[in-house]
Copies of this chain bind each other. A is one copy, B any other.
Amino acid sequence: MADIEENLINHIARFLEINEHDANEILTYFKVIEIAKKKNLLSEGKICKSNYFVSKGCLRMFFINEKGVEQTIQFALENWWIADYTSFSSQKPADFYIQAVEKSAILALDFLSQDKLLREFPQMERYFRFIHQRAHAASQFRIKNLYELSSEERYHQFTKRYPEFVQRIPQYLLASFLGLTPEYLSEIKSKRIS
């Protein structure tokens, strides 16, 4: 089993018992995608055909706002799943773009393959239930923050929770995610250091 696939199996094994035979069978439903930095896996108006597991690298989801500016709403690092779930569930056009922040290795599970996988291996329902429940919990926390905190407070909270991630991603993307201009982000950072 290659590293790319092994990461997924290890992740599934955190939530349920899985033997080697089933692990190999489950992997046949996935397609490995190696994607270069800044390349898109999904574009607005296209159908989100797959649910993506990040094995290596980092993806982001964004939309283009009225001013024509990319607004990042979500990052997915190693062991995270990402998709436009409205588009994926309905197989209708997406509201979002999904793009590689770094050169990444992805396992893609397309809509029909996911359906087949879940019928063949119903224990995978439990895995995906955990994934979505965790994402649901994270989004409640996220929405609270969007109501409660200023952009500057969000920056401080984010750097405190995810210091390595803040080092890893380009600062203009972090600014976009936090709803700041890159200039204002520099200002906050310089204030902090001084």
A binding-site residues for B, Cβ under 8 Å: 61, 63, 65-66, 71, 73-74, 84-86, 88-89, 95-96, 118, 122-123, 125-126, 128-129, 132-144, 146-148, 179
Contacts and interface: CB of A to CB of B under 8 A. Distances in A.
B140 A96 contact: yes
Looking at chain A's contact residues, the main secondary structure is helix
Copies in the complex: 2
Contact of A137 (B65, B86, B122, B142): B86
Contacts of A148: 63, 65-66, 71
Closest 3 CB pairs of A and B: A132-B132, A139-B139, A85-B137
Contact of A86 (B65, B86, B128, B141): B141
Given A89-B134, A129-B125, A148-B65, A143 B143 contact: yes
A179 B144 CA distance: 12
A118 B144 CA distance: 29
24 contacts: A61-B140, A63-B144, A63-B148, A71-B147, A71-B148, A73-B143, A84-B137, A85-B133, A85-B134, A86-B138, A86-B140, A89-B134, A89-B137, A95-B140, A118-B126, A122-B126, A125-B125, A129-B129, A129-B132, A132-B133, A132-B135, A136-B139, A139-B140, A143-B143
Contacts of A123: 122
Contacts of A84: 137, 140
Contacts of A144: 63, 71, 73, 95-96
